[in-house]
Amino acid sequence: MLETVKYLIGSRGASGFGSKSTAEEVTETCPDLRFITAIITGATSGIGAETARVLAKRGARLVIPARNLKAAAEAKARIVSEFPNSEIVIMALDLSSLSSVRKFVLDFESLDLPLNLLINNAGRFAHHHAISEDGIEMTFATNYLGHFLLTKLLLNKMMETTKQSGVQGRIVNVSSSINGWFSGDMIRYLGQISRSKSQYDATRAYALSKLANVLHTKELAQRLKEMGANVTVNCVHPGIVRTRLTREREGFITGLVFFLASKLLKTIPQAASTTCYVATYPRLENVSGKYFADCNETWTSKLGSDSIEASKLWAASEIMVSEI
């Protein structure tokens, strides 16, 4: 109850920010980002678009991968109209397709750009059962597995950039507090819903993908530490906000639910604040493997903090993305 009250009034935590803080506010004192190159998935609308806008305002060069290049061009135009000196590169990427992820990485590497910041923001809530071209349930494929492979393939570029620039690289995985809604055997359930829709529950599948984001963060942080890489990875819960994630369920019921929950909703600038905070705030240098909400470190679910589950998911993910 106390946490809910703090959320509603926007009480500020140890970071100096809280639920009412905006992305612009939390980046006001961040270092000059003119020498930072950032890849942001899901930046054509919603939280990702606001994250991209604010980072561009602070001077960062942006790479915006998108399945819909027209939407990406429109997002770029909006940012450039506000900040004419922005440098923004649009590239094709379908996160649900592992071959598309591989092609994107090859295309990005051909540009010979540095990579300081990777924000794995794109998300999908598939209300209807679907399987990706790689045989993986679509929500999991898009929200987690595509980002897992993208991060894996970009790590060498990030580590190379940190050595050349001396600036610590950062990876931000956007999850959700709904990760705590999943219980049970992750790999078994994924196998079930990747074969048949008979066991499919859209909300549980979404929770599974968001839990996977949390466990990916935990395991990757440990591996980066063991490698001695000057790269951190952290996970964020942006908060409850109405974005295009609900586009398949627009209508009276959805509108009524959001109206009734309006006091708990964040604006998009508020929802983008935690991502921008974790991506840029100076005090988070060397902070890795943590989970943030409302711009403050917090606890994740019991399953989300299980190192054994994180290791098991990593091993299964390596198999799923392996090329035969």
Is the confidence at residue 7, as pLDDT, over 90?
no
pTM greater than 0.85 (yes/no) = yes
Is the confidence at residue 296, as pLDDT, over 80?
yes
Least confident of 84-93, 114-123, 260-269: 260-269
Which tokens go with 225?
């530490």
Model pLDDT for residues 220-232, shown as the tens digit of each residue: 999 999 999 999 9
Tell me the average pLDDT across 246-272.
64
SS3 letters for 86-110?
Answer: CCEEEEECCCCCHHHHHHHHHHHHH
Is the confidence at residue 95, as pLDDT, over 50?
yes
CATH 3.40.50.720 given to domain 1-321: yes
DSSP character string of 50-82 = HHHHHHHHTT-EEEEEES-HHHHHHHHHHHHHH
Residue 255: pLDDT band with limits 50, 70, 90: low
Which tokens go with 147?
């980002």
Please state, rounded to an integer, the average pLDDT across all residues of the chain: 91
Which tokens go with 153?
């393939």
CA angle 120/122/123 to nearest 5° reads 125
Q: What is the pLDDT of residue 311?
A: 97
Is the confidence at residue 324, as pLDDT, over 70?
no
Which tokens go with 287?
């902070």
Is the confidence at residue 252, as pLDDT, over 70?
no
**312 class by beta-carbon count within 10 Å (0-12 exposed, 13-18 middle, 19+ buried):** middle
Q: How far apart are CA 139 and CA 123, in angstroms?
A: 8
Annotated catalytic, 291?
A: no
Q: How far apart are CA 148 and CA 141, in angstroms?
A: 9
Q: What is the pLDDT of residue 253?
A: 54
Q: What is the pLDDT of residue 84?
A: 97
Q: Are 23 and 48 in contact (CB under 8 A)?
A: no
Percent of the chain at pLDDT exceeding 90: 84
Beta pairing partners, 117: 38, 170
CA nearest to 233, candidates 172, 187, 284: 172
Is the confidence at residue 9, as pLDDT, over 90?
no
Which tokens go with 86?
């922005």
Query: Which of 200, 277, 281, 291 is the catalytic position?
Result: 200
Which tokens go with 253?
């019921």
Q: How far apart are CA 284 and CA 130, in angstroms?
A: 38
* Domain extents in the chain: 1-321
